[in-house]
Structure 1
Amino acid sequence: MTTDLYGLASAVLQPGYDGVEVPDWMRRALGEGLGGVVLFARNRPDAEVVRRLRAENPAVVVAVDEEGGAVTRLEVERGSSFPGNRALGVVDDVKLTERVGRQIGRMLAEADITLDYAPSADVNANPANPVIGVRSFGPEPGLVARHTAAYVRGVQGAGVAACAKHFPGHGDTVTDSHLALPTVHVSRETLAERDLPPFRAAVEAGVQSIMSGHLLVPDLDPDAPATLSRTILTDLLREELGFDGMLVTDAIEMRAVAALHSPGEIAVRALAAGADAVCAGLVTEDGLAELRSAIVTAVQDGVLPEERLAEAASRVRAVSRWYAGQAAARATAVADADPGVGLEAARAALTTTGTARLTRPPLVVEVNTRLSQAVDPSMPTGLTAALAELLPGTERVRMTDGGELPAFDERPVVLAVHDAARHAWVRERVEQAVRVRPDTIVVDTGIAGPPQGAAHVATHGISRVSARAAAEWLTR
């Protein structure tokens, strides 16, 4: 194993680790040239955590998934200060989206985080999609394209690199790639007209990074998912769309690809296909060593050209250099606080029917559907807490997936549901509640079903500010 190959292999890896403390093996790997680290809510990412990482390697690319809405790593305990993409798409004000992106970038700049794995540039063409949904700006390519570009301008205007995902588009799937390999059954022409415009817009906006999706698109490549397909990553994204920035994989432990190959094989195939950085969301010391060894061995055996590995490492380092050159932009963004923009956007996004209002503490029944694997399991919907601030004495009952409604008493009833449009059993519970209590108020935080109840509020996303906006509307 040569020092150069070892260093190149280290440079293209972006692993995550378990626990709050940075493990000693991660510190050693950073000191040996590990190019990136991805942080999750379990790591409690903040400026101090990043300081410890940068103490070992000042140039490390520190990444997080901070989309706003349901997918947040820095604000998971209280809920996001920003309403998420679908809410922004409902408002359809690109200046507002850029302001939100800038404040998300500002939050990451304060923590010295290099790269935001956001925005989701997927067009949510299939309402039954189990993993994108409100993470998308919407179902129409022009809408998604203009807001993707605005979000990128906002985040990168704050001196933090953005990452458009999940190329070539995860919106028309009924399978969560965390659990299995989705197939996108569309023609090349449909893909070009529907799914690619947001990625073109991101490239034109100067996005620093794009993330591949673990998706099989047979009309493009019948043999390999996008992450492992040279046809998709190099021929389409590089040559046709003209993207020359850092291409990072989605997490390689996701079952969509993990069921096909070993981690080392996935890393080698992804790099050969055109990826520059390999995201491994949760690894151990041995797992990281296996990834590096697989890459080095592939080069030595002639399976992976050394020039391709060197090119990949150079693109990772280019993001690090770009970030280093944005210090003034980050300082300006940190000083340029826009603290009310998240709530402003959440209020503007509310879709309401009916006139019912709450004048006394209600019983909030959370009809809990299982959120996607991209959402931290501790993520709160926030509605009960928001109502309790305005109406002390508000209480909550949680229903499990597929459970039955509780008995109602004389208190007002608020049903908090998510993605009623996707779940027949949720719609059935709403109908049952309205039959028993016609004064039931329904708040849907996802892709909403038909309005029902004395009042129906669609927030178009899960966040602290979305819950606050809904609570304000119901109690004003």
Structure 2
Amino acid sequence: MTELRRAIRATLMPGFVGLDLPDWLAAELAAGLGSVCLFGMNVSSPGQLRALTAAIHAAGPSALVAIDEEGGDVTRLHHRDGSPHPSAAYLGSLDDVRVTEAVAADIGAQLVAAGVDLNLAPVADVNSNPLNPVIGVRSFGADAGLAARHVAAYTRGLQGAGVGAVAKHFPGHGDTATDSHRALPTITVDAGLLASRELVPFRSAVAAGTLGVMTSHILVPAIDPELPATLSAPVLRLLRDDLGFTGAIVSDALDMAGASKGRGIPEAAVLALAAGVDLLCIGTENTAGQLAGIVDHVLEAIRSGRLSEDRVRDAAERVAVLSAGVAALRHRAAVPGELREERSKRAEGPPPLSPEGFWLRAPIAPLTAPVFVRLDSVANIAAGEDTVWGVGGHLSGELDTHLPGATCVTAATLAEVNAVLAAHPDRPLVVQGRDLARVDFLARAATLIKDRRPDAVLVELGWPQLPGVPPVDIATYGAGRGASTCLITLLSEGAR
């Protein structure tokens, strides 16, 4: 029984609260826990993170440390100061697979330096629905072929640096208008369109050798009208049988409503394992009691015959193979001593972004001492509310260097927008928002500003809906530090 409990634990990937490894989690690791997922709440500095990952590996030598470090808006390493790496949408707009591979290699180098084993990336979703509230700039684009070639390049770059890739969110979260963190989205595509669009980037990831694929909590009635993909054997058979994937299937977080609403996390864990998932991401703020409840529930499902013991042992074995695969990547990525200094430099950050990846409606004239107006909106849950975004006070150094005298303000209501306009009647205005045409307040606020100040520069930091209402002047394809710094340089120098 102890051995079976150990096998069950090997399939679990919880998160936790805090900057240090808690005693309960160290005990779980010693008892065979397969993985730990880190979030922004677990990261305060490079030194602290290295100490934390070292403690995890000491407690569970074969356990995998996983993280979401997509670049752009979704970052854990840089949630306090913004990611220096571009978003997937920026890379898709630039459409140079060499750049995408180099960016992923740089992210990989940073993760290796931090002691992280698995990156829950790249996003392989084709963002075909511009109203998508959760994917957006996390996707390489709305074209399946473009997304596929960049997913492959990202996978090569990341794994070449020694970090396992986990392509997500199978079978494709791009054609949804609902966030699976909050509810269960449905994609109403037939099997033919699913194969010719949604599955294309995942097929590319598999061909590129991705070690993992993450499932999504979405309903695909054409394949399974009852259960979301994470819990659906017919959907996951597409990945195994049609795409030929033999690596580890990883679930998206089971604390999300799309997976556990109405059934609870323990039951979602049983159904996911039965469907074919190997490694279960549990969530962000898990506890010892919660993990014990999941283990007990899985054990009871095995005893009652609802879940095969062989399926659990198979999942545990696939997690062990995943761990060995990451170790092999790390060994192949090892560099001679004379190159370690260069590797260390790469881990400090990538070269700056170029405006070539931006969309411009017309040439931009240089600005002097502008007011940056950030139109506030609810953060994408995947990005997290604690992650900085856009041009704001955290970029004061860059503003002082390139746009001395610039001011940053935030407006969350139309009254606050009117107050900003009244306070700065003669200053150049740069208005920033994420998904301007999708979010009602943002559309109304941007329209108000453009009506009153036609000279204002309107910047779309989210998924660009071009042509949109109101008309956008610049689309940066992301709101991270790299994109925002590039925007500052563009506005100070002007462009084409």
Q: TM-score, normalization: structure 1?
A: 0.95
Provide the rounded CA distance (Å) in 2 between the counterparts of 1:61 and 1:324. Answer: 10
* Structure 2 counterpart of 1:423, one-letter code: V
Alpha carbons 1:350, 1:469 under 8 Å: kept: no
Residue correspondence of structure 1 range 17-28 to structure 2 within 5 A:
17-28=16-27
Equivalent in the alignment of 2:95: 92
Secondary structure in structure 2 of the residue aligned to 1:232: helix
Q: In the alignment, does 2:445 pair up with 1:442?
A: no
Provide the rounded CA distance (Å) in 1 between the counterparts of 2:330 and 2:384. Answer: 30
Decide whether aligned partners of structure 1 residues 290 and 92 sit closer, same or farther in structure 2, where only a CA change above 3 A counts. Answer: same
Q: Which of residues 271, 274, 290 is equivalent to 2:273?
A: 271
Equivalent in the alignment of 2:429: 413
Provide the rounded CA distance (Å) in 1 between the counterparts of 2:175 and 2:200. Answer: 15
Q: Which of residues 175, 191, 211 is equivalent to 1:208?
A: 211
Alpha carbons 1:343, 1:469 under 8 Å: kept: no
Q: In the alignment, does 2:370 pair up with 1:368?
A: no
Equivalent in the alignment of 1:163: 166
Provide the rounded CA distance (Å) in 2 between the counterparts of 1:80 and 1:298. Answer: 43
Q: In the alignment, does 2:185 pair up with 1:154?
A: no
Alpha carbons 1:87, 1:346 under 8 Å: kept: no
Provide the rounded CA distance (Å) in 2 between the counterparts of 1:214 and 1:316. Answer: 21
Provide the rounded CA distance (Å) in 2 between the counterparts of 1:439 and 1:346. Answer: 24
Residues 434-457 of structure 1 show CA distances to partners (whole Å, capped at 9, x for unaligned) of 222222112211123447999822
Give the ranges of 4+ consecutive aligned residues of structure 1 lying more than 6 Å apart after TM superposition.
Answer: 451-455
Provide the rounded CA distance (Å) in 1 between the counterparts of 2:28 and 2:52. Answer: 16
Decide whether aligned partners of structure 1 residues 455 and 149 sit closer, same or farther in structure 2, where only a CA change above 3 A counts. Answer: closer
Residues 45-81 of structure 1 show CA distances to partners (whole Å, capped at 9, x for unaligned) of 7211101111111111110001000000001111101
Residues 289-337 of structure 1 show CA distances to partners (whole Å, capped at 9, x for unaligned) of 1111111222222221111111100111111111222333443396445
Decide whether aligned partners of structure 1 residues 436 and 190 sit closer, same or farther in structure 2, where only a CA change above 3 A counts. Answer: same
Alpha carbons 1:69, 1:463 under 8 Å: kept: yes
Provide the rounded CA distance (Å) in 1 between the counterparts of 2:303 and 2:67. Answer: 32
How many residue pairs get matched?
474
Greater shift in the superposed pair: 329-338 or 28-37 = 329-338
Provide the rounded CA distance (Å) in 2 between the counterparts of 1:452 and 1:186. Answer: 28
Decide whether aligned partners of structure 1 residues 18 and 401 sit closer, same or farther in structure 2, where only a CA change above 3 A counts. Answer: farther
Equivalent in the alignment of 1:350: 358
Q: In the alignment, does 2:463 pair up with 1:461?
A: no
Q: Which of residues 65, 72, 75 is equivalent to 1:72?
A: 75
Which segments of 5 or more consecutive residues in structure 1 lack a partner in the other structure? none
Secondary structure in structure 2 of the residue aligned to 1:427: helix
Provide the rounded CA distance (Å) in 1 between the counterparts of 2:413 and 2:174. Answer: 24
Secondary structure in structure 2 of the residue aligned to 1:308: helix
Shift in Å, 1:3: 1.1
Shift in Å, 1:340: 9.9
Secondary structure in structure 1 of the residue aligned to 2:474: strand
Secondary structure in structure 1 of the residue aligned to 2:214: strand
Equivalent in the alignment of 1:391: 403
Equivalent in the alignment of 1:230: 233
Greater shift in the superposed pair: 207-216 or 386-395 = 386-395
Shift in Å, 1:424: 4.0
Equivalent in the alignment of 2:412: 400
Provide the rounded CA distance (Å) in 2 between the counterparts of 1:36 and 1:320. Answer: 9
* Structure 1 counterpart of 2:11, one-letter code: V
Secondary structure in structure 1 of the residue aligned to 2:361: strand
Shift in Å, 1:428: 2.7
Decide whether aligned partners of structure 1 residues 107 and 129 sit closer, same or farther in structure 2, where only a CA change above 3 A counts. Answer: same
Shift in Å, 1:116: 0.3
Shift in Å, 1:417: 1.3
Q: Which of residues 126, 132, 143 is equivalent to 1:129?
A: 132
Q: Which of residues 107, 114, 117 is equivalent to 1:114?
A: 117
Provide the rounded CA distance (Å) in 2 between the counterparts of 1:218 and 1:404. Answer: 44
Provide the rounded CA distance (Å) in 2 between the counterparts of 1:97 and 1:259. Answer: 37
Decide whether aligned partners of structure 1 residues 403 and 277 sit closer, same or farther in structure 2, where only a CA change above 3 A counts. Answer: farther
Provide the rounded CA distance (Å) in 1 between the counterparts of 2:253 and 2:161. Answer: 26
Decide whether aligned partners of structure 1 residues 86 and 356 sit closer, same or farther in structure 2, where only a CA change above 3 A counts. Answer: closer
Residue correspondence of structure 1 range 234-253 to structure 2 within 5 A:
235-253=237-255
Percent of residue pairs bearing the same amino acid type: 40
Q: In the alignment, does 2:142 pair up with 1:139?
A: yes
Provide the rounded CA distance (Å) in 2 between the counterparts of 1:340 and 1:10. Answer: 35
Alpha carbons 2:369, 2:404 under 8 Å: kept: yes
Greater shift in the superposed pair: 444-453 or 99-108 = 444-453
Which segments of 5 or more consecutive residues in structure 2 lack a partner in the other structure? none
Shift in Å, 1:431: 2.4
Secondary structure in structure 1 of the residue aligned to 2:369: coil
Equivalent in the alignment of 1:422: 438
Q: In the alignment, does 2:278 pair up with 1:262?
A: no
Alpha carbons 1:134, 1:460 under 8 Å: kept: yes
Provide the rounded CA distance (Å) in 1 between the counterparts of 2:415 and 2:158. Answer: 41
* Structure 2 counterpart of 1:25, one-letter code: W
Q: TM-score, normalization: structure 2?
A: 0.91
Shift in Å, 1:393: 2.8
Residues 3-32 of structure 1 show CA distances to partners (whole Å, capped at 9, x for unaligned) of 111110110000000121211100111111
Secondary structure in structure 2 of the residue aligned to 1:163: strand
Alpha carbons 2:414, 2:445 under 8 Å: kept: no
Provide the rounded CA distance (Å) in 2 between the counterparts of 1:402 and 1:343. Answer: 38
Q: Which of residues 301, 304, 316 is equivalent to 2:304?
A: 301
Secondary structure in structure 1 of the residue aligned to 2:437: helix
Greater shift in the superposed pair: 266-275 or 255-264 = 255-264
Decide whether aligned partners of structure 1 residues 471 and 254 sit closer, same or farther in structure 2, where only a CA change above 3 A counts. Answer: same
Decide whether aligned partners of structure 1 residues 34 and 283 sit closer, same or farther in structure 2, where only a CA change above 3 A counts. Answer: same
Provide the rounded CA distance (Å) in 1 between the counterparts of 2:413 and 2:34. Answer: 41
Secondary structure in structure 2 of the residue aligned to 1:421: coil
Secondary structure in structure 2 of the residue aligned to 1:326: helix
Provide the rounded CA distance (Å) in 2 between the counterparts of 1:452 and 1:236. Answer: 39
Alpha carbons 1:363, 1:412 under 8 Å: kept: yes
* Structure 2 counterpart of 1:230, one-letter code: A
Provide the rounded CA distance (Å) in 2 between the counterparts of 1:115 and 1:157. Answer: 13
Equivalent in the alignment of 1:379: 387
Provide the rounded CA distance (Å) in 1 between the counterparts of 2:144 and 2:478. Answer: 20
